[in-house]
Amino acid sequence: MDNIWNHYYGVAYKLSLVCGMWPHLERRTRIFRISVLTAIMVTIVIPQLAFQYRCKGDIQCTLTSTLGYLLSLVILVKVYTFQLNIHELKILTEHLYVDWKMVENSEEQEIMKSYANHTRLYSLIYSVYCVIGLYILMCVCLVPFILDVILPLNESRPMLSPHPAYYFVDEKKYFIYIFIHALLGWKIVLVGVISHDCMFVSYVQHICSMFAVTGYRFKYLFYECNEMIKDTSDDFNEKYHARFTYLVQTHRETLRLAQLLENTFTKPFGLQIVIATIGLSITLQQITVESNLLTVFRYILYVIGQLIHLFCLNFQGQKLLDNSIQICDKIYNSPWYKLPIKMRKLLMLVMMKTYRPTFFSAAKLYVFSLENFAMVLQTSMSYFTVLASF
């Protein structure tokens, strides 16, 4: 069991352990590590505030500084979501381990492994993508210095700051120190973002796997060794009545976990959706007015990163919707006609329950799905049009 855990959930576990977001971490250790992460975040926010102060009412400067605020705010929301919901997240994390012991055969274990493997692949790809994206965004500002060495001009090329911030010193003279601080600071706080998203995907994929296992059990309720059982004796009915009751309880427990996930993340995701929509709109507006090609390139990368982040969340929401609904189809394809009348009525109640799909939302207003992902893009474009009109 430990080998399975380390193989499929090792990336999310190690990252969350480092930044103090692992729910089962000792309280004193967790507070210390999250305090260090917060202190580093403060060293990034203070220069952003100073940059905002120097804008002196300049709209373009203000919008540029706003993008930095929004990104910092998203990071703080993600990091402290885990700190403010420790009890709920402990329950969800325990099920990642305990439910593996409840599988009854190799087919169910393969179902669990397939969903856990999705978690592992997502964690690896997402972590690499975030780190590479950060290095590209930061290292773009080194291009003017490299060009000054390779293709020097009569005067130095304009300096490009690692991020919208003012460090109270001569930025040209201390550029290397500013660059190192920005790179290391954002790299450290990015660990909290990756940890949050990987753990969240772990929870979603595990709930989807439990829906899939429950549907499999309903579909093959009257099968043993891949052959349908023809026995209809009283002992048979009593045996399978107990098994059917167990399946109903498993389904209800999975629904309870999905509701716990929804209650834990709905408010933070509501704030994140608002921030992402505003951030997309401002970034698109900045692209249209910016003349520096390197800055435009960074804005384009920022837009791509926001879209990928939103798509991943909506894709996970779509998978949860699909897996919760598919149970009804699997029950219908099972030999339900062999059940006694009393059990058929219970089965109808389960099927009626699946007609109300399980989902996770943002502030109970926005349901994460691929269809609604397009709606967010349309809303961002609308806000962009309003900003561009000014």
Mean pLDDT (whole number) for 49-76 = 83
The predicted pLDDT at position 2 comes to 61
Mean pLDDT (whole number) for 111-136 = 91
* Cβ pair 187, 231 in contact under 8 A: no
Mean pLDDT (whole number) for 104-117 = 87
Judging by beta carbons within 10 Å of its beta carbon (0-12, 13-18, 19+), is residue 242 exposed, middle or buried? Answer: exposed
* CA–CA gap between residue 141 and residue 154 (Å, rounded): 20
The predicted pLDDT at position 223 comes to 61
Quick count: other Cβ atoms within 10 Å of Cβ 244?
21
Paired tokens of 49? 């505030």
Q: What is the pLDDT of residues 77-87, one digit of tens each?
A: 998 998 888 99
Q: What is the pLDDT of residues 326-374, one digit of tens each?
A: 888 887 777 777 666 777 777 777 777 777 888 888 888 888 888 888 8
Q: What is the pLDDT of residues 15-36, one digit of tens each?
A: 999 888 998 888 899 999 999 9
Q: What is the pLDDT of residues 267-284, one digit of tens each?
A: 999 898 888 888 888 888
Quick count: other Cβ atoms within 10 Å of Cβ 286?
22
Question: E strands, the chain, where?
Answer: 223-224, 227-228, 361-362, 366-367
Mean pLDDT (whole number) for 118-133 = 91
The predicted pLDDT at position 280 comes to 83
Which single residue is written with the structure tokens 């009283």? 234
- Does the pTM surpass 0.75? The reply is yes
Mean pLDDT (whole number) for 95-113 = 83
Residue 265 has pLDDT above 90, yes or no: yes
The predicted pLDDT at position 208 comes to 92
Mean pLDDT (whole number) for 158-170 = 84
* Cβ pair 316, 203 in contact under 8 A: no
Q: What percent of the chain has pLDDT over 90?
A: 20
Residue 135 has pLDDT above 80, yes or no: yes
The predicted pLDDT at position 238 comes to 66
Residues 73, 205, 261, CA angle at the centre, nearest 5°? 55
The predicted pLDDT at position 385 comes to 73
Q: What percent of the chain has pLDDT over 70?
A: 91
The predicted pLDDT at position 366 comes to 86
The predicted pLDDT at position 11 comes to 87
Q: What is the pLDDT of residues 35-48, one digit of tens each?
A: 999 999 999 999 98
Residue 244 has pLDDT above 80, yes or no: no
* CA–CA gap between residue 269 and residue 275 (Å, rounded): 10
Q: How confident is the model at residue 124 (pLDDT cuts 50, 70, 90)?
A: very high
The predicted pLDDT at position 225 comes to 47
Contacts of 275 (CB under 8 A, 6+ apart): 70, 73, 74, 77
